[in-house]
Amino acid sequence: MYQITQAGIQHIPLIQELTNQIWPATYLSILSQEQLDYMIAMMYNTEELSRQLNSDHTFLLIWDGESAIGFAGYSPKEETGIYKLNKIYLHPDYQGKGAGKLLLNAVIDQVKAAGANVLELNVNRYNKAKSFYEKIGFEVFEEKDIDIGNGYWMNDYVMRKVL
């Protein structure tokens, strides 16, 4: 039985551990090891996660018993009624078993309760998760190429789901 809880500052090491377990399985087929290492260091360092957790970002953890198996993070955008799903990751052993959908639905419930009418996310154009998002009602809104420094780019689809 899965359980979803809100994460706090004390969970930063756990989020980092999950990232180090999940990202290689998710991205090494589409990104180089160097870009993967760069992005993890940039986006999941303690200072950056602390900044997010102390601002308007909400992080959720999903558990299978005593084991954390994934996480999601979201925040409001400047546009009224639009929230951004900044991250959602699930351990590969749990993909395709309903845990990801449960976690995403928890995010949707929370942003709807906060007044959102649209949930937006970015997904790498080569990430197989795109079909997962489409199955639950997300549609491509635009394509975006984002310079993240050090010669690396994120080549994404921006997807939106009307809530």
- Span 119-139, pLDDT tens digits: 999 999 999 999 999 999 999
Q: Say which DSSP state 109 is in.
A: H
**How many domains is the chain built from?**
1
Q: What's the pLDDT tens digit per position in 1-56?
A: 899 999 999 999 999 999 999 999 999 999 999 999 999 999 999 999 999 999 99
Distance CA 117, CA 83 (A): 8
Q: Find the helix packing angle between 46-53 and 12-27, rounded to 10°.
A: 110
Which amino acid makes up residue 117?
N
Task: Quote the domain boundaries for residue 39.
Answer: 2-122
pTM of the model: 0.95
For residue 160, being part of any structural domain is answered with no
For residue 128, being part of any structural domain is answered with no
For residue 66, being part of any structural domain is answered with yes
pLDDT at 22: 97
For residue 146, being part of any structural domain is answered with no
pLDDT at 156: 97
For residue 132, being part of any structural domain is answered with no
pLDDT at 36: 95
Average pLDDT rounded to a whole number, residues 108-124: 97
Q: What's the pLDDT tens digit per position in 58-103?
A: 999 999 999 999 999 999 999 999 999 999 999 999 999 999 999 9
CATH of the domain at 118: 3.40.630.30
Q: What sign does the dihedral 25-85-72-147 (CA atoms) show? A: positive
For residue 24, being part of any structural domain is answered with yes
For residue 134, being part of any structural domain is answered with no
pLDDT at 153: 95
Nearest to 128 by CA among 152, 103, 102, 92: 92
Strands 82-90 and 118-124: parallel
For residue 129, being part of any structural domain is answered with no
Lookup: tokens for 156: 């994404």
